[in-house]
């Protein structure tokens, strides 16, 4: 298979030698940059200030707007597959499991995700509900993916990584744009944007988008009725006045999603299939003020409000959060660049009791306070620097948490850089791990009791004794600028986890109701420990101006020490050693036949997940783009082309039927005015 791809690349290279001078222009400005120039892109997520990508003492990968456009990805989760060390597994039409460096699950709890600095991590279940995180894909400037702890800067829950989705400034989205299309799995989509100016200092944009995605099917071929229809709109307003920059930004959305859930019952066959409809709706508004005194001195104040309402089985809930964040950067002497900050977050939610879940209490408000300080010390100018810092977080569940880190950056010359780091991070308990009761499955036998006279309903229960999960991480990385058109980025790590989530049996008790049964509580505890290690590589090579090749490889091994009775209950903790791929490979090829015609190929390999009995798979996406006239682009995209369908993962905790992810083809048009 790789030989076929290589032959295809060779044919492309041969075709390029016969190109005419008129075809040498590139469709995208970033294609005009050398790999060396791309390594100078400014990023902000590692230290909360601008840094060159090449000089960052962290394992970081940047997904650019060009990468997104060429990939054909129609959602943020699909775009994240481009980053090394990131595990993206589609669970259904609207559901993904996404993590960095292992411990993946639908509610993967060791990853902090931000959109323009606004946290979208939900404290209700500890994780991200990806169906609610969207924007116009054309408005994304870049996605910064940090592999490894970011807790010193971003606080608790930034344990295994941080993803920051950064949208374009209003000034960069002037004029009108419309895109539309449809096909098989991507049944139909439309996006519209208009950018203008109130005055020269105040640009703005407004946008709207909508789409419809098809159902997936079970292993037996039955329709899971999990189609997804979504509508979203938003705006951004920027204003510059002297040394001040102000931003006001907001979004609203509504999703209508179907699903097929397995509900436990007390009569044979002890489960039933329920087809449910979900309505998700919500919105957010964000305000940010920046004052730049100089290149090394600034202050920032950001606040946002976010509200989401879900109406579905197994729960009906609404959740709202308010956050205010302040930071100050200032130089001290010539060798110290200090950044410090304060943060307060309020999270309020209310969850209705259902047949499957209940929260006690049903309504709760939590408060989080934090402060951080970080000092970047220049030891030898342009050669050696040391970054040290810590963050203090106080939460309602476990009290004070301390999360320090130290990073060393050695740059012997402009072509080589080596970095080392040691960090501590914690993942604080979710409200669910404290207050929830989830009806699990109905048992017909117990260890030592092969046959039970009456059924036993297993109930997963939260505990107010549940503590924070802890990590000590050791990392090392190396970057080499081989030439102006080639670079290599390597990173390796060893993670030592303690107090990870596990379970223990509670006291069995008789259940209430017409049908006689027992209830067996299974209670959250912190008795699992684990360690993981691995490495990631990313190679970027431009053989010549029209052709760019990008590849990444990730290796991961996890060892867990947990209660063997519960290893099959929790894939994202005790069972993580068998629920994450050991190997991932990605190869992307971008070729410009001319200014008008592009071909983009993306080959992916993911090794098996033995926890779910999911075999390894190889797949490919392809996108062919043509610009018949200026400002108009026609494209056709094929997704998961190598097979009719395949499995990637399945839901944990919330019982559902495993889904097959289908092959898809769609066509579209984009027009700019």
Please, are residues 120 and 133 in contact by the beta-carbon 8 Å criterion? yes
Q: What is the mean pLDDT of residues 74-87?
A: 98
Looking at residue 610, the DSSP 8-state letter turns out to be G
pLDDT at 472: 98
Least confident of 143-152, 409-418, 503-512: 503-512
Q: What is the mean pLDDT of residues 82-103?
A: 96
Question: Predicted confidence band at 161 (pLDDT cuts at 50, 70, 90)?
Answer: very high
pLDDT at 471: 98
pLDDT at 450 over 80: no
Determine if the pTM surpasses 0.75. yes
Residue 297 neighbours by CB distance under 10 Å = 13
* Furthest C-alpha separation in the chain: 83
Looking at residue 129, the DSSP 8-state letter turns out to be -
Helices (H), 189-311: none
CA distances to 116, 250, 282 from 166, in Å: 5, 14, 20
Handedness of CA 373, 384, 290, 45 (dihedral sign): negative
Distance (Å, whole) CA 63 – CA 446: 49
Spatial CB neighbours of 577, under 8 Å, sequence gap ≥ 6: 530, 558, 559, 560
For 218-233, what is each residue's pLDDT tens digit? 999 999 999 999 999 9
Residue identified by tokens 């010549």 is: 544
pLDDT at 666: 98
Please, are residues 27 and 625 in contact by the beta-carbon 8 Å criterion? yes
pLDDT at 312 over 70: no
332 forms beta bridges with: 336
For 566-575, what is each residue's pLDDT tens digit? 877 788 887 8
CA atoms within 13 A on the CB side of 240: 10
Is the model more confident about 316 or about 476?
Answer: 476
Question: Predicted confidence band at 66 (pLDDT cuts at 50, 70, 90)?
Answer: very high
Residue 257 token pair: 């999603």
Please, are residues 642 and 160 in contact by the beta-carbon 8 Å criterion? no
Looking at residue 48, the DSSP 8-state letter turns out to be S
pLDDT at 4 over 60: no
Q: Let me know if 294 is exposed, middle or buried by CB neighbors in 10 A (0-12, 13-18, 19+).
A: exposed
Is the model more confident about 373 or about 654?
Answer: 373
DSSP assignments along 416-481, one per residue: EEEEEEEEEEEEPPPHHHHHEEEEEEEES-BTTBS--SS-EEEEEE--TT---EEEEEEEEEEEEE
Q: Which of 262, 279, 248, 294 is nearest to 118 (CA)?
A: 248
Please, are residues 98 and 112 in contact by the beta-carbon 8 Å criterion? no
Structural domains in the chain (count): 1
Question: Predicted confidence band at 445 (pLDDT cuts at 50, 70, 90)?
Answer: low
Distance (Å, whole) CA 153 – CA 160: 13
Q: Let me know if 527 is exposed, middle or buried by CB neighbors in 10 A (0-12, 13-18, 19+).
A: middle
Q: 46 is in which domain, residue-wise?
A: 2-672
pLDDT at 665 over 80: yes
pLDDT at 569: 78
Helix or strand or coil: residue 492? strand
Question: Predicted confidence band at 662 (pLDDT cuts at 50, 70, 90)?
Answer: very high
CA angle, 362 then 363 then 369, to 5°? 135
Least confident of 153-157, 423-427, 429-433, 514-518: 514-518
Reading phi first (left if > 0) and then psi (alpha if -120 to 50, else beta), residue 248 is in: beta
Distance (Å, whole) CA 648 – CA 618: 11
Phi, psi of 29 (to 5 degrees): -55, -35
DSSP assignments along 329-378, one per residue: EEEETTTEEEEEEEEEEEEEEEEE--SSEEESSSEEEEEEEEEEEEEEEE
pLDDT at 313 over 80: no
Please, are residues 296 and 332 in contact by the beta-carbon 8 Å criterion? no
Distance (Å, whole) CA 324 – CA 340: 14
pLDDT at 19: 38
Residue 323 neighbours by CB distance under 10 Å = 19
Question: Predicted confidence band at 32 (pLDDT cuts at 50, 70, 90)?
Answer: low
Q: Which of 301, 280, 276 is nearest to 291 (CA)?
A: 301
For 337-368, what is each residue's pLDDT tens digit? 999 999 999 999 998 877 778 899 999 999 99
Q: What is the mean pLDDT of residues 474-499?
A: 96
Is the model more confident about 215 or about 1?
Answer: 215
Domain of 91, CATH number, reads: 2.40.170.20
For 246-265, what is each residue's pLDDT tens digit? 999 999 999 999 988 877 88
């Amino acid at each position: 298979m790789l030989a076929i791809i290589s032959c295809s690349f060779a044919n492309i290279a041969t075709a390029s030698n016969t190109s005419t001078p008129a075809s040498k222009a590139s469709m995208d400005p970033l294609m005009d940059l050398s790999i060396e120039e791309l390594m100078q892109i400014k990023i902000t997520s590692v230290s909360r200030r601008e840094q060159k990508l090449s000089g960052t003492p962290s394992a970081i990968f940047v997904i650019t707007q060009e990468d997104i456009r060429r990939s054909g990805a129609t959602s943020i989760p699909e775009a994240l597959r481009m980053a090394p060390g990131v595990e993206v597994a589609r669970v259904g039409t609207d559901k993904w499991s996404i993590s960095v460096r292992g411990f993946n699950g639908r509610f993967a709890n060791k990853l902090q995700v931000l959109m323009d600095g606004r946290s979208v991590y939900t404290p209700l279940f500890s994780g991200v509900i990806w169906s609610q995180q969207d924007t116009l894909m054309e408005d994304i400037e870049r996605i910064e993916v940090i592999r490894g702890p970011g807790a010193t800067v971003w606080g608790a829950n930034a344990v295994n990584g941080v993803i920051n989705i950064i949208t374009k400034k209003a000034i960069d989205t002037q004029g009108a744009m419309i895109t539309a299309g449809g096909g098989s799995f991507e049944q139909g989509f439309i996006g519209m944007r208009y950018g203008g100016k109130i005055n020269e200092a105040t640009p703005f944009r407004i946008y709207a988008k909508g789409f419809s995605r098809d159902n997936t099917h079970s292993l037996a071929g039955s329709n899971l009725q999990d189609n997804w229809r979504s509508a979203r709109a938003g705006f951004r307003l920027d204003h510059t006045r002297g040394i001040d920059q102000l931003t006001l930004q907001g979004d609203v959305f509504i999703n209508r999603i179907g699903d097929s859930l397995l509900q436990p019952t007390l009569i044979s066959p002890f489960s039933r299939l329920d087809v449910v409809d979900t309505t998700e709706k919500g919105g957010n508004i964000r305000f940010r003020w920046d004052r730049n005194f100089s290149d090394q001195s600034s202050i920032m104040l950001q606040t946002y409000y976010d509200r989401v309402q879900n109406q579905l089985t197994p729960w009906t809930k609404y959740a709202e959060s308010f956050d205010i964040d302040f930071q100050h950067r200032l130089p001290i002497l010539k060798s110290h660049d200090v950044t410090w900050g304060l943060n307060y977050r309020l999270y309020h939610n209310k969850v209705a009791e259902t047949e499957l879940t209940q929260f006690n209490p049903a309504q709760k408000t939590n408060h989080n306070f934090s402060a951080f300080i970080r000092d970047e010390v220049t030891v030898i100018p342009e050669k050696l620097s040391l970054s040290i810092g810590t963050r203090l977080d106080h939460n309602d569940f476990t009290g004070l948490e301390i999360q320090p880190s130290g990073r060393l950056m050695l740059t012997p010359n402009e072509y080589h850089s080596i970095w080392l780091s040691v960090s501590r991070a914690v993942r604080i308990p979710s409200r669910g791990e404290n207050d929830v009761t989830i009806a699990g499955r109905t048992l017909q036998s117990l260890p030592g009791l092969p046959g039970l006279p009456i059924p036993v309903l297993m109930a997963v229960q939260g505990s107010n004794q549940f503590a924070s999960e802890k990590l000590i991480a050791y990392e090392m990385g190396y970057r080499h600028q081989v030439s102006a058109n080639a670079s290599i980025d390597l990173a390796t790590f060893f993670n030592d986890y303690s107090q990870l989530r596990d379970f223990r049996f509670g006291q069995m008790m008789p259940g209430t109701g017409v049908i006689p049964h027992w209830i067996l509580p299974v209670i959250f505890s912190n008795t699992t420990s684990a360690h993981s290690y691995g490495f990631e590589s990313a190679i970027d090579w431009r053989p010549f101006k029209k052709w760019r090749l990008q590849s990444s490889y990730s290796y991961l091994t996890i060892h867990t020490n947990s209660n063997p009775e519960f290893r099959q209950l929790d894939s994202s903790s005790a069972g993580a050693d068998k629920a994450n791929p050991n190997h991932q490979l990605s190869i992307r090829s971008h070729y410009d036949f001319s200014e008008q015609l592009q071909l983009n190929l993306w080959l992916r390999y993911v090794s098996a997940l033995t926890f779910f009995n999911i075999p390894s798979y190889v797949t490919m996406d392809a996108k062919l783009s043509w610009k018949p006239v200026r400002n108009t682009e026609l494209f056709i995209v094929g997704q998961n082309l190598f097979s009719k369908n395949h499995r990637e993962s399945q839901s944990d905790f919330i019982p559902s039927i495993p889904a097959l992810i289908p092959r898809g083809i769609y066509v579209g048009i984009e027009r700019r005015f």
